[in-house]
Amino acid sequence: MNKSNTGWLAAFLGVVIGILGTVAVNQLLNLGKVKANYAHWQKLTYVMNHIRKNYVDTVDVAALTDAAIAGALAELDPHSSYLPPVELQEAETELAGNFDGIGIQFNVPNDTAVVLEVIKGGPAEKVGMLKGDRLLKVDDAVIAGVHFPQDSMVRRMKGPAGTKVNVTILRDGAQTTFEIARGKIPVHCVDAAFMINDTTGYLRLTKFSRNTHKEVDEAARALLDQGMSHLIFDLRDNTGGYFDQAILLSDMFLDMDDEIVYLEGLHRPREDQKASGKGILKDVALSVLINENTASSSEIFSGAIQDNDRGVIIGRRSFGKGLVQEPVYFSDGSAIRLTISRFYTPSGRCIQKPYDPDYRYDIYKRYASGEMFDRDSVKIDSSLAFRTVHGRTVYGGGGIIPDVFVPLDTTRASAFFIACNRKATQMRFATSVFDSDKKHLSEIDDFQELERYLDKIPLKERFLAFAASKDGIRPAPGEWEATESYLMPQLRALVGRYSKLGENAFYKLYLPVDETIRIALDTPARVVDGQR
**Residues of the chain with pLDDT > 70: what percent?**
91
- Residue-wise pLDDT for 164-182, tens only, equals 999 999 988 889 999 999 9
- Residue type for position 139: D
Q: Is residue 293 one of the residues assigned to a domain?
A: yes
Residue 392 has phi, psi (to 5 degrees) of -75, 150
The answer to whether residues 371 and 360 touch, using CB atoms and an 8 Å cutoff, is no
Quick one: 236 and 139 in the same domain?
A: no
- Read off the pLDDT of each residue in 232-239 and give the average, rounded to a whole number: 97
Specify the DSSP class assigned to residue 414. Answer: -
* Long-range contacts formed by 154-162: CB under 8 A, 24+ apart: 157/101, 157/102, 157/104, 158/99, 158/100, 158/101, 158/182, 159/100, 159/101, 160/100, 161/100
In the predicted structure, residue 233 carries a pLDDT above the cut 90: yes
Quick one: 317 and 389 in the same domain?
A: yes
In the predicted structure, residue 127 carries a pLDDT above the cut 80: yes
Quick one: 339 and 205 in the same domain?
A: yes
Quick one: 181 and 207 in the same domain?
A: no
Can you tell me whether residue 50 is helix, strand or coil?
helix
Quick one: 302 and 333 in the same domain?
A: yes
Domain that holds residue 62: 3-75
Residue 39: predicted pLDDT:
58
Quick one: 166 and 220 in the same domain?
A: no
Burial of 126 (0-12, 13-18, 19+ CB in 10 A): middle
Quick one: 268 and 284 in the same domain?
A: yes
Give one DSSP letter per residue of 241-287, joined into a string. B-HHHHHHHHHTTS-TT-EEEEEEETTEEEEEEE--S--TTTTSEEE
Cα dist from 507 to 254, 364, 418, 504, 532, whole Å? 27, 27, 21, 5, 27
First-to-final CA distance of the chain: 48
Residue 38: predicted pLDDT:
59
Q: Is residue 85 one of the residues assigned to a domain?
A: no
Mean per-residue pLDDT over the chain, rounded:
87
Among candidate residues 120, 154, 186, the one where a domain is terminated = 186
Quick one: 177 and 244 in the same domain?
A: no
In the predicted structure, residue 527 carries a pLDDT above the cut 60: no
When divided into structural domains, the chain yields a total of 4
- Residue-wise pLDDT for 288-338, tens only, equals 999 999 999 999 999 999 999 999 999 999 999 999 999 999 999 999 999
Quick one: 427 and 485 in the same domain?
A: yes
- Residue type for position 439: K
Residue 401 has phi, psi (to 5 degrees) of -90, 125
Quick one: 262 and 361 in the same domain?
A: yes
Can you give the CATH number for the domain in which 103 is found?
A: 2.30.42.10
Can you give the CATH number for the domain in which 298 is found?
A: 3.90.226.10
- Residue-wise pLDDT for 421-457, tens only, equals 888 899 889 989 998 888 899 899 999 999 999 999 9
Residue 21: predicted pLDDT:
35
Quick one: 50 and 169 in the same domain?
A: no
Residue 438: predicted pLDDT:
86
Weakest-pLDDT range from 24-28, 33-37, 69-73, 158-162 = 24-28
Among candidate residues 381, 405, 429, the one where a domain is terminated = 405
Q: Is residue 48 one of the residues assigned to a domain?
A: yes
Among candidate residues 405, 426, 454, the one where a domain is terminated = 405
Name the band, by pLDDT with cuts 50, 70 and 90, for residue 37. low
- Residue-wise pLDDT for 75-121, tens only, equals 999 999 999 988 888 788 777 766 788 988 888 877 788 888 888 77
